[in-house]
Amino acid sequence: MTDSNPDIRRVNPGPRMSDGVVYNGMVWLAGKVGTPGRSVAEQTADALAEVDAALERAGSDRSRILQAIIWLADINDFAEMNAVWDKWVVPGHSPARATGEAKLAAPEYRVEVIVTAAVKP
């Protein structure tokens, strides 16, 4: 099936969702998670590596993130997640961010990261 909206670019589209969607100089990424069963710090690092890769495929990078939404399976893991986030975020380019607690797709997932970014000119 051909996309009937040529001004919208879907990155790695699948039957249920795309890895990201690029439109009007912006990219919206699907939620990124880490390897199930690993620690919160390891899952955060994995998810952020997935964000980096998806942003690159979409023509952006972490310095261009406008907003991040982070879901934790347990809000008590906030400090452990932040320790990894703080090393990853580009100094001077921290996005608007919200973090909350939610049931994730499977109990083995402890962190999910969702970002919106500007594409490179």
Pairing of strands 65-72, 96-101: parallel
Q: Report yes or no on 93 lying in a domain.
A: yes
Instruction: Reduce the DSSP state of residue 42 to 3 states and report it.
Output: helix
Q: Is residue 8 part of a domain?
A: no
The total of structural domains in the chain comes to 1
Mean local confidence (pLDDT), 101-110: 96
Provide the domain limits for residue 76: 27-118
* pLDDT per position as a tens digit, 7-60: 999 999 999 999 999 999 999 999 999 999 999 999 999 999 999 999 999 999
CA distance 96 to 81: 16
Domain contains 39: yes
Which positions ≥6 away from 15 have C-beta within 8 Å?
A: none
Helix, coil or strand: residue 40:
helix
Distance in angstroms (rounded) separating the CA atoms of residues 117 and 113: 13
